């Protein structure tokens, strides 16, 4: 995997198309903030605090409810980076159709449970399984309703990452320097870095699919 070439291409696209990347991210972020604020308001009105069981349950409900939108967001970004014209609202909400929504939620829950169980055994197995399922969201974003029902998405992610777990781990670590620079600029540089990183992730996924299809 030519990580340098991917990052150079992603940097050019991300820096030149900041608004295309930021717009959906800001919308999803705003919706998430409103939902979490409502949860906090409910607990306050009921005289509870954030340590209560009800608060934890409501947060879990919100997180599960946002999963299809998160996958819709990735679907939108994949298509934008491929140069396609897509409707933002329609794409963000597209995964709330019944044939998508429950499969996305159950698959994501299963993946996180497996990673958590492996992490309880030892740290290394947890990291390995997290890397095995690193392409899960991208695969969910691209899968048709028929593919979601007939294919094991977790297995497909595992197959894609076979032989590339270390490569992807190094790829992720290569952005640490940008994180420090964002801190030094009080987050201002993040305006350029986030679109760059989002683009790089998707381009890595696309390149991985190409290599595995050979």
Low-confidence ranges of the chain (pLDDT < 50): none
Whole-Å CA distances, 31 to 38, 63, 66, 132: 11, 12, 9, 30
162: left (phi over 0), alpha (psi -120 to 50) or beta: beta
Whole-Å CA distances, 52 to 22, 34, 60, 128, 209: 34, 20, 13, 33, 44
Domain locations in the chain? 3-213
State the pLDDT at residue 194: 87
Token digits of residue 105:
């939620």
Token digits of residue 123:
């740290």
State the pLDDT at residue 210: 84
Residue linked to tokens 């991210």: 25
């Amino acid at each position: 995997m030519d990580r340098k070439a991917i990052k150079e291409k992603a940097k050019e696209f991300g820096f030149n198309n900041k608004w295309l990347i930021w717009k959906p991210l800001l919308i999803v972020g705003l919706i998430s903030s409103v939902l979490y604020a409502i949860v906090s308001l409910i607990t306050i009105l009921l005289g509870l605090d954030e340590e209560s069981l009800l608060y934890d349950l409501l947060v879990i409900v919100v997180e599960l409810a946002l999963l299809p939108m998160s996958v819709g967001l990735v679907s939108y970004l994949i298509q934008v980076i491929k140069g396609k014209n897509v409707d933002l609202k329609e794409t963000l909400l597209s995964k709330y159709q019944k044939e998508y929504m429950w499969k996305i939620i159950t698959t994501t829950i299963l993946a996180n449970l497996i990673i958590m169980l492996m992490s309880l055994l030892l740290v290394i197995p947890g990291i390995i399984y997290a890397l095995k399922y690193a392409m899960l969201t991208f695969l969910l974003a691209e899968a048709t309703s028929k593919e979601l029902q007939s294919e094991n998405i977790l297995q497909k992610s595992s197959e894609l990452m076979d032989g590339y777990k270390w490569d992807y781990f190094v790829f992720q670590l290569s952005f640490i320097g940008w994180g420090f620079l964002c801190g030094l600029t009080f987050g201002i540089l993040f305006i350029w870095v986030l679109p760059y990183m989002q683009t790089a992730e998707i381009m890595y996924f696309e390149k991985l699919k190409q290599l595995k299809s050979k």
